Amino acid sequence: MKTIQDFIRNHRQDFDEGEPRSGHEERFLAKLKLEDQAKRSVQYTTIGKWFKIAASVLIIASFGAAIYTIMLRPDQAVLAGKNTTPDEIREIEYYYTSVSDQKLRTIKEMAGSGPEAEKVKAMISEQVRELKVSTEALKTEYIEGKKDERVLNAIRNNYRVLNGLLDHVINQIDQPRHKIEESSKNNLNIGYHETKFC
């Protein structure tokens, strides 16, 4: 700092008398304007990224809430009339619901976000809804009927079909990951042999 002050004091007369070249002020203002625009564009880009992240989180959360609402949450009528639902059905629902919960969490983690993930989520949501409607009809038939063992097996089968569907989705999502890992291992082995022979 001291050397700059000394330099200015020693050359003060040059600073007082010298004039900048023509157009200096316009060039200076243009540079300031460009710098200000660059700062604004970076600011808007950062805000845009946060909006994208927030939208992704919102989509995933709404998908989870929809699945919970459609399939995993017991109906209010069932909760109100707990005594009307036989123990056999409650046991089946409890077991398969807990298994389905775990598989749905796995699918959410593996699927991520994007157009393919949204297709998977929409497909699962539709299948879950259809199975839920079918299961509710079977439960009503079982409760109102003679408590036929075949109806109980049909209810159990619906939950098995749901879990089979979720297993299939998990395998389909996981399959490309295994292919990528396999090809990267193959590439690493090829690279190793190439360096060995060269």
**For residue range 80-119, what is the model confidence (pLDDT) as tens digits?**
554 467 788 888 888 888 888 888 788 777 777 777 777 7
Q: Where are the domains of the chain?
A: 40-197
Q: What is the mean pLDDT of residues 62-89?
A: 68
Coil, strand or helix at 28: helix
Angle, alpha carbons 154-104-61 (nearest 5°): 130
- Band of the pLDDT at 185, cuts 50, 70, 90? low
> Which pLDDT does position 76 carry in this prediction?
56
Residue 59: Cβ within 10 Å count: 14
- Band of the pLDDT at 191, cuts 50, 70, 90? very low
Asked if 75 contacts 136 with a C-beta cutoff of 8 angstroms, the reply is: yes
pLDDT of residue 30 exceeding 60: yes
- pLDDT tens for 126-177 read 888 888 888 888 888 888 877 788 888 888 888 888 888 888 888 887 776 6
Asked if 179 contacts 156 with a C-beta cutoff of 8 angstroms, the reply is: no
- Mean pLDDT score across all residues of the chain: 76
State in Å, rounded, how far the first CA of the chain is from the last one.
Answer: 58
The token pair that represents 185 in the structure block: 């291992």
